[in-house]
Structure 1
Amino acid sequence: MPEVTGVYVYGIVPGDVEADPEARGVGGDSASVTVVHHGRIAAMVSELDLDRPLGTPADLLSHETLLDATAAVVPVLPVRFGAVLTHRQAVVDELLAPHHDEFDAALRELEGKAQYVISARYVRDSVLREVIAADPQISRLREAIRDKPEDATRNERIALGQAVNTAIDARRQADTQAVAEAVAPVAEGVITREPAGEYEAAAVAVLADLDREQELVRKVEELAERRSGQLEVRLLGPLAPYDFVTALRPGE
């Protein structure tokens, strides 16, 4: 049977952008990335074998890697993972032409900008010591179960866990706000994310000018130094502006 192919769409870029001949997308070495132009905008695409399963971790990584590498050079509007159209003309007819002016305006707003993410995680032993020392109820519950069998102190252990989680949640709200305020002076926009794990202190997405990246790095380094021993802080980026642009889906 002949191979059935479609056109996988990654993102929308300005119309003067040309594809990097070395760029590869979903599907590995055979997935050469090209550009479909229309007016002042264009779409980054590659051919996709529709008989292969789509949605593996490698596919998602390829999608994000291409978008993030693009965002470091030119503005890009991410298209939602898994967007496949029947052929290149369909990319124009169903995606670029109907939304040309809207996409063009959005790309102009993003010119010279990219997303960064500040991730802060509590140092587990440190935060537990702090919440225990700060709350007499937690201290009493901890003493009540010390050196006692789990079965005999089940209720106390449940109450202790709930009290610790509540205390960490309160700290997380304050720490998220502190991270957002620390980077706000060098940001064009700041969005806070929901915590991804029990000991995540903050996840903050920042839209910033690429030429102010070193200022952002210094702000994050200063934060990490101030909270050394309490928080482990990382800066990720530049990334495509996932949090600042509604992910596009062809046909919507």
Structure 2
Amino acid sequence: MARSTNVSGASVPKQAARRKQNIASYLYGIVPADLELAPDDRGLGDPAGEVHLVRHGEIAALVSDVNVDQPLGRPDDLLAFERLLDSVAAKAPVLPFRFGAVLANPEAVMEELLKPFHDQFLGALRDLEGQAEYIVKGRYVESAVLGEILAENPEAASLREAIRGRSEDLTRNERIRLGELIAATIEAKRDMDTRTALDALAAHYSTAVVREPSHEQDAVHVAMLAKTGEQRALEKALSQLGERWEGRVNLRLLGPLAPYDFVVAQEQG
């Protein structure tokens, strides 16, 4: 148990230490009350990101102590937040909070969050039982997609020839137009290839959300809610799609993750 000492070396009650240091309860998510945390489950805050459960009925809040006088939101904080929730999602349903949710203390977590919203949270957890989020990301192979565009679009091919070997100053307008054509064509291909991926993987997810591209050459960027027990089947189906797109699109699967795209618990109170 964490302890604080005064100048004479005598121990100070933990609650007094919390008030003195302006310690609050950082909220990660709602989980089943019978969840068992692993020894390496760590979040942000002190001591060493130690996390614990505040239980009520059949649900619990996953929390850690943080000093609210210290800034939160550093890249390491966000990584710790996501790493903890993703670790939990691999073994139990979890309703993630938005990054930055804090309540005054464990008593506030109980009275303002768990008690009044117990049934709603429990229902959502049951809906997620055995499922987690998976992200499918695909990135076009630049030379391959450019070759497709030039072969399919005579104007793009003509512009490419017009600028070949000529200075940027003399071909500024042509380069701008070519860039516009390439961007528009990639967007259209992305829409088509995303539908192809969703159809190819349809048997392996319950619902999906198309994410905004994270890169101009993204071919696919979708979040899927899928059963963790059938991850190998999802991986096999994605591998088969990758074989169809070999040399054209590089695919990868991320997960299991907390279901950020499908349900986010809101701090109440």
Map 1:1-252 to 2 at 5 A: 2-27=20-45, 30-245=48-263, 247-251=264-268
Secondary structure (helix, strand or coil) at the match of 1:149 reads: coil
TM-score normalised by length of structure 1: 0.96
Secondary structure (helix, strand or coil) at the match of 2:26 reads: strand
Tell me the distance in 1 between the aligned counterparts of 2:25 and 2:229. 34
Residues 100-140 of structure 1: per-residue CA shift (max 9 Å, x gap): 11110010011111111110000011101110111001011
**Cα shift at 1:28:** 6.6
- Asked if the contact 1:180–1:192 (Cα under 8 Å) also holds between the matched residues in 2, the reply is no
Residues 207-237 of structure 1: per-residue CA shift (max 9 Å, x gap): 1111111100101111111100000000000
Secondary structure (helix, strand or coil) at the match of 1:48 reads: strand
- Asked if the contact 1:22–1:32 (Cα under 8 Å) also holds between the matched residues in 2, the reply is no
Secondary structure (helix, strand or coil) at the match of 1:152 reads: coil
Query: Which consecutive unaligned segments of at least 5 residues does structure 2 have?
Result: 1-18
Letter in 1 for 2:206: E
Aligned to 2:9: none
Secondary structure (helix, strand or coil) at the match of 2:171 reads: helix
Tell me the distance in 2 between the aligned counterparts of 1:22 and 1:204. 30
Query: Which consecutive unaligned segments of at least 5 residues does structure 1 have?
Result: none
Secondary structure (helix, strand or coil) at the match of 1:228 reads: coil
- Asked if the contact 1:20–1:33 (Cα under 8 Å) also holds between the matched residues in 2, the reply is no
TM-score normalised by length of structure 2: 0.90
Segments of 4+ moved more than 6 angstroms: none
- The share of aligned pairs that are identical, in percent, is 47
Tell me the distance in 2 between the aligned counterparts of 1:56 and 1:137. 47
Residues 80-100 of structure 1: per-residue CA shift (max 9 Å, x gap): 101111000111122212211
Secondary structure (helix, strand or coil) at the match of 2:31 reads: strand
- Asked if the contact 1:19–1:44 (Cα under 8 Å) also holds between the matched residues in 2, the reply is no
**Cα shift at 1:18:** 3.3
Secondary structure (helix, strand or coil) at the match of 1:34 reads: strand
Aligned length: 251
Tell me the distance in 2 between the aligned counterparts of 1:236 and 1:187. 14
Structure having the higher Rg: 2
**Cα shift at 1:193:** 1.0
Tell me the distance in 2 between the aligned counterparts of 1:249 and 1:126. 44
**Cα shift at 1:20:** 2.8
**RMSD value over aligned CA atoms?**
1.4
Secondary structure (helix, strand or coil) at the match of 1:194 reads: coil
Tell me the distance in 1 between the aligned counterparts of 2:37 and 2:53. 6
